[in-house]
Amino acid sequence: MSVALDADARQAAAAKLAEEQALVRKAQAGDRLAFDDLVRRYDRDVLRLALNLVHRPEDARDIYQESFLKAYRNLPRFRFECSFYTWLYRIVTNVALDHLRRRTSRHEDQAPVYAEDDGGTHDFFDRQPQTSAAANPEKRLLGQQLGRHIAEAMKRLSPRERIVFEMKHHHGLRLRAIGDLLGTSEDTVKNSLFRATRKLRESLDAFR
């Protein structure tokens, strides 16, 4: 039964990929409606990714628009060496990275606030000691202070360190995948993640 289900899943995935590739080819040939269809397929994913990376709704919307504009302009260069979404994901990531760099240079940086119900996988933060604050106002206050301290600590990260940290701990991507998206080596990603983790640990150690 499971073998049949796996075969059905692979067949459905292959059909979806073929349909996507057909839309991309039409869009490359100048069919604007085909590109609009691609936008509708991935608009929520792109906006969610942008928001996860920059943590400001207004900035995320700007990144969303710029990313799809870049995708449209560079569509003739797409060579089907990966899925369209992987290619689009890479564009969004690099636009967000450039945005964070500009924001930092203007001293407008604002660290992200991690909500308890955001559904992300924060391995680093999960390893930090936590206590139940539901029935203890003092513990609840301590938790709020820790959240603010984490937000302040994130300000110490460079834009690349923050992007790498977010992609590893929030999106659960492997280092090699992050390197592919950022156009850099796995070792460079590993070094960025190490520096980010060290800075955050130093800040959290000071809090304790």
User: What's the half-sphere exposure (Cβ side, CA atoms, 13 Å) at 1?
Assistant: 0
* Pair 62, 6: CB distance under 8 Å: no
CATH of the domain at 194: 1.10.10.10
Is 9 among the domain residues? no
Tell me which residue range forms the domain holding 182.
116-208
Per-residue pLDDT, 142: 56
Is 169 among the domain residues? yes
Is 157 among the domain residues? yes
Per-residue pLDDT, 121: 36
As a whole number of angstroms, the distance between CA 56 and CA 163 comes to 14
* Pair 207, 201: CB distance under 8 Å: no
Is 121 among the domain residues? yes
Is 153 among the domain residues? yes
Which residue's entry shows tokens 């995948």?
177
Residues found in the chain: 208
Per residue of the chain (208 residues), give pLDDT as tens. Answer: 565 657 777 888 888 889 999 999 999 999 999 999 999 999 999 999 898 888 889 999 999 999 999 999 999 999 999 889 889 999 999 999 999 888 877 765 554 444 433 434 344 444 444 444 455 666 565 556 666 777 777 778 888 898 899 888 878 889 998 998 888 899 999 999 999 999 888 877 765 5
pTM of the predicted protein model: 0.68
As a whole number of angstroms, the distance between CA 72 and CA 101 comes to 24
As a whole number of angstroms, the distance between CA 168 and CA 122 comes to 8
Is 166 among the domain residues? yes
Is 54 among the domain residues? no
Closest CA to 100 of 110, 91, 90: 110
Is 205 among the domain residues? yes
Q: Structural domain tally of the chain?
A: 1
Give the distance between the most distant pair of CA atoms in the chain. Answer: 63
